[in-house]
Amino acid sequence: MEKFSLTTAIDYVNGAPHIGHAYEKILCDIIHRHYKKRADKTFFLTGVDEHGIKIQKTAKTLGITPKELCDKNASQFVEAWKLLDIEYSKFIRTTDAEHKKVVQDIFEKLLEKGDIYKHKYKGLYCSGCECFLSDKDLDEDGCCPIHGKKPEAVEEENYFFKLTKYKERIIEHIKNNPEFITPEFRVQEILNQLENIEDISVSRAKTNVEWGIEVKSDPSQVIYVWIDALSNYITALGYDVSGNFGDNFKEFWPVNYHVIGKDILKFHSIYWIGILMALGIELPKGIYAHGWIMIDKNKMSKSTGNVISPKTVMEAFELDKPDALRYFMATCAIGGKDGNYSDEDFKEKVNADLANNMGNLLNRSLNMLVKYFDGEIKEEFKNDALVDVADSTVKEVLSLFDKIDVAGAASKIIALSDEANKYINDNAPWTLYKEGKIKECGQSLYTVLNLMVKTGLLIQPYCPNIANEIARQLKFDINLKYDEITPYMLSAGKLITKEEIKPVFLRLDSEIAGDKKKS
């Protein structure tokens, strides 16, 4: 594979990052790290969405400028992603000068083309969604079903994008490309929404919303958040309306995936596609809509007071590395459905998979290697038990990643160390040693340690620090690509001393999180 690129949604900065935002960035970071082991060049874009009425209002309440508020809050996202070892290629802010300029140019280009027109409009605006809602979108109490609030009646003269002009082409594209939207169960919902699609408002009157990018040819209007926000995917790569594209745009557009939450799939698979068609830009190769992370089975919301930040979780469990949280988040939602976070589930899952299953296995095996063979792998230990199993796991993991099944791939990796645990219990190298079957004892240890090298390489995208520790103890290069995995990954010679053996992951203490919350 030559190239792989992906993007996350850009988060609103009107609050601090929570574990729902973190879930998406972790998912993307894992996908990106996985493809780094398969592709020659990769690009991973994330960032923040800073304009709109919510920021304007909050800043006013706090007595600071919207830009000051954005600077303060954007840095919290940067810090949170650092804490979680999210290694993005670029972090875009929609207040970046370059982004603002290109968004203005895009707007002018669409105006010139006649795809944007001015129109007097009366509608219901939900500031939570930052969009107009139709009566059909509301629940029985007339509220936005996502934010539970009554939208505000707005009457304004705005610019509109002729989305209806592209309706048929969008439908055709979705129908002709069954893998364009994943998971597949979301496709019909989008096709249904397309049936009732109308032209969309793409600007707000400055008298009502000031905090936005000004329309160049009409400073009485600001560009409405979605056209500003969605364009980040191309402005960040160096798109330019004159065709003078930056290197990243030439290299990485169209991206392989836009990864976003189910709540904003409509904006990505309908609005954004229409805008790209109007601009004559190639479409992204795929859109993956993930589910939502709930807290103790409830939706996270400021009013319920159940919003959890990744930092809180790490502090509550006294974690200095994010691997456990990354692993849990990556596995707690399956197949694009909603997932759930609870302290109890978190602790159980990571203790079972990372400490008991993987960590203990490595620790036990290395200790036996030191005890019986002074930490040395002998040439005669090399054998092919479980080599086929590991080989087919590698293939399965790769194919699951091609379907963005990050949780499914993790369960295959853990199933591999399950196999190895079963193997070591069945073969009992401690008994073989006692019975004087020295070669067989060495062979069974080789089998498990050789398999742990492959497990380390496969788990690396999820748990980079644990993987580094596995690689340090088994003396292999953690940056190996997947096509460099060969049947026998351990060579003969001294592997490790007693002092070098360290548990790769310590069990989470059951009492810690509860106590922290009580205090």
Catalytic, out of 147, 165, 285, 475:
147
Of positions 260, 474, 504, 508, contacts ligand MSP by CB under 6 A: 260
Of positions 5, 24, 93, 161, contacts ligand MSP by CB under 6 A: 24
Q: How far apart are CA 209 and CA 203, in angstroms?
A: 9
Min dist. Cβ of residue 96 to ligand MSP (A): 14
Min dist. Cβ of residue 392 to ligand MSP (A): 32
Contact map string, positions 4 to 23, toward ligand MSP, x by CB under 6 A: -----xxxx-------xx-x
CB 311 within 8 A of CB 80: yes
Contact map string, positions 297 to 316, toward ligand MSP, x by CB under 6 A: ---x----------------
Verify whether residue 434 is a known catalytic residue.
Answer: no
273 binds ligand MSP (CB under 6 A): no
DSSP structural state of residue 185: G
Residue type, 476: F
Estimate the crossing angle of helix 464-474 against helix 323-331, to 10 degrees: 120
Which element (helix H / strand E) includes 494? strand 493-494
Verify whether residue 147 is a known catalytic residue.
Answer: yes
Catalytic, out of 299, 349, 403, 475:
299
Min dist. Cβ of residue 232 to ligand MSP (A): 6
Name beta bridge partners: 287: 181, 258
Of positions 66, 261, 322, 442, contacts ligand MSP by CB under 6 A: 261
Verify whether residue 302 is a known catalytic residue.
Answer: yes
Cβ distance to ligand MSP smaller for residue 261 or 442: 261
Q: Which residues contact 435 (CB under 8 A, 6 or more apart)?
A: none
Q: How many residues does this entry show for the chain?
A: 519
CA distances for 516 relative to 135, 315, 342, angstroms: 45, 9, 15
β 203-205/218-223 pair status: antiparallel
Residue 480, CA atoms < 13 Å, CB-side half-sphere:
20
CB 367 within 8 A of CB 449: no
Q: How far apart are CA 246 and CA 292, in angstroms?
A: 35
Cβ distance to ligand MSP smaller for residue 107 or 476: 107
Cβ distance to ligand MSP smaller for residue 71 or 263: 263
Cβ distance to ligand MSP smaller for residue 33 or 258: 258
133 binds ligand MSP (CB under 6 A): no
**Residue listed under structure tokens 């026998």:** 488
Site for ligand MSP in 170-229 (CB under 6 A): 229
Give the residue closest to ligand MSP by C-beta: 261
CA distances for 230 relative to 94, 204, 331, 514, angstroms: 10, 16, 28, 41
Verify whether residue 70 is a known catalytic residue.
Answer: no
Of positions 45, 293, 377, 445, contacts ligand MSP by CB under 6 A: 293
Min dist. Cβ of residue 323 to ligand MSP (A): 20
Catalytic, out of 28, 126, 441, 463:
126
Verify whether residue 18 is a known catalytic residue.
Answer: yes
Catalytic, out of 28, 70, 131, 144:
144
Site for ligand MSP in 316-355 (CB under 6 A): none
Verify whether residue 21 is a known catalytic residue.
Answer: yes
Min dist. Cβ of residue 142 to ligand MSP (A): 22
User: 194-200: which pairs have CB atoms within 8 A and are 24 or more residues apart?
Assistant: 194/167, 194/170, 194/270, 196/134, 196/136, 197/163, 197/164, 197/167, 197/270, 198/134, 198/163, 198/164, 199/119, 199/160, 199/161, 199/162, 199/163, 199/164, 200/132, 200/160, 200/161, 200/163, 200/226, 200/271
Token pair in block for residue 356: 């008991």
Cβ distance to ligand MSP smaller for residue 12 or 482: 12
Q: How far apart are CA 33 and CA 42, in angstroms?
A: 9
Verify whether residue 126 is a known catalytic residue.
Answer: yes
Token pair in block for residue 306: 């159940």
CB 226 within 8 A of CB 130: yes
Cβ distance to ligand MSP smaller for residue 25 or 33: 25
Contact map string, positions 27 to 56, toward ligand MSP, x by CB under 6 A: ----------------------x-------
- Piece of 67-75, 97-105, 259-267, 404-412 that binds ligand MSP (CB under 6 A): 259-267
Min dist. Cβ of residue 199 to ligand MSP (A): 20
137 binds ligand MSP (CB under 6 A): no
Cβ distance to ligand MSP smaller for residue 264 or 390: 264
Of positions 27, 163, 264, 386, contacts ligand MSP by CB under 6 A: 264
Q: Phi and psi dihedrals of 153, rounded to 5? A: -75, 125
Residue among 26, 264, 22, 249 at smallest CA distance from 128: 264
Min dist. Cβ of residue 249 to ligand MSP (A): 17
Q: Phi and psi dihedrals of 201, rounded to 5? A: -75, 135
Verify whether residue 173 is a known catalytic residue.
Answer: no
CA distances for 334 relative to 217, 400, 483, angstroms: 47, 12, 27
Min dist. Cβ of residue 60 to ligand MSP (A): 20
Min dist. Cβ of residue 136 to ligand MSP (A): 21
Of positions 28, 84, 230, 369, contacts ligand MSP by CB under 6 A: 230
Q: How far apart are CA 97 and CA 393, in angstroms?
A: 46
Site size toward ligand MSP (CB under 6 A) is 19
420 binds ligand MSP (CB under 6 A): no
Cis before 17 (ω within 30): no
Residue numbers of the site for ligand MSP (CB under 6 A)?
Answer: 9-12, 20-21, 23-24, 49, 229-230, 232, 260-261, 263-264, 292-293, 300
Active site residues: 18, 21, 126, 129, 144, 147, 299, 302
